Amino acid sequence: MTAKNAFVIGDKIGNLPAVKRPVAAGADEALFLISGPCVIEDLELCLNLAEQLLKICEKLSIGLVFKGSFDKANRSSISSYRGPGLEKGLEILGQVRAKFNVPVMTDIHETAQVEPVSKIVDCLQIPAFLCRQTDLLCAAAETGKSVNIKKGQFLSPEEMRNAVEKVRECGNKKVLLTERGTFFGYNRLVNDMAGIKIMQEIGCPVVFDATHSTQRPGGLGKSSGGQREMAPILARAAVAAGANGLFLEVHTEPDKAKSDASCVMPVESVEKTLSICKEIFEIVRKK
């Protein structure tokens, strides 16, 4: 049972059957995790990561939403790897969902992608740079699926109310907001943990993206730099500030990742990070 104003990611919508491991999101729900590779590289990597993440999450009683992008449409360089594309990417996400019975999530960049993506995934993610795109938000809303809006690095937490209202006006109240840092001059992001509380007051669960928050946008010239070692510190701070969920992009060999290699977390570091964060989460809830 979910509390009032909460919703379930992974329930039956349209022709897509419910998963056996749905995730409840809401003010009074348990801590949950959104995790996977930054970009889908191949089926083997996704299955490997999903298996490891699920074992960790089941051990810690934390819900898992598996995330992978079929296209990274805003790479710094035109020569950077973008992903396997819509058709192949959705096929891989569908296999992850079927094998592990967990909800899956991916980014959408254009309204034309919404219909095919909604037939496979449980949650549609609006990238940070597109969080004000009205047509994209409304098209996502009209699927009835959960919608995760990443806060633009150029927006205040208060301004995310406008994005949420666009989704709600289109008949969908299943909205997550994800904090991923704010521009602070060139090639630098900072995190205002007070923004978590501000965005929760809009009436949405708030997820903290600990790995992208360590990013140095464009910091390497043709790609973004980052400090992945800072992700666990930021994750702990966000949960202490009241975040409802965490977002961690992971890889089996982070230095070889085809996107955000400086930011993605080694999958073997996830259990320790989550274990500590869950302890903090439970202490905060008791207060």
Of 120, 189, 118, 119, the closest CA to residue 147 belongs to 118
Query: Would strands 225-226 and 215-216 be described as parallel, antiparallel, or unpaired?
Result: antiparallel
Tokens 């994209």 identify what position? 136
- The three-class DSSP label of residue 69 is strand
Give the confidence band of 262 by pLDDT, cuts at 50, 70, 90: confident
Q: Which two tokens stand for residue 209?
A: 């993206």
Q: Give the span between the Cα atoms of 269 and 211, in whole angstroms.
A: 12
Give the confidence band of 153 by pLDDT, cuts at 50, 70, 90: very high
For 103-121, what is each residue's pLDDT tens digit? 999 999 999 999 999 999 9
Q: H helices within the chain, ranges in order?
A: 43-60, 86-100, 111-118, 134-141, 160-169, 194-200, 231-240, 270-286
For residues 177-185, give the mean pLDDT.
92
Instruction: Show the domains of the chain with their CATH numbers.
Output: 31-286 (3.20.20.70)
Percent of the chain topping pLDDT 90: 82
Query: With 90 as the cut, is the pLDDT of residue 2 above it?
Result: no
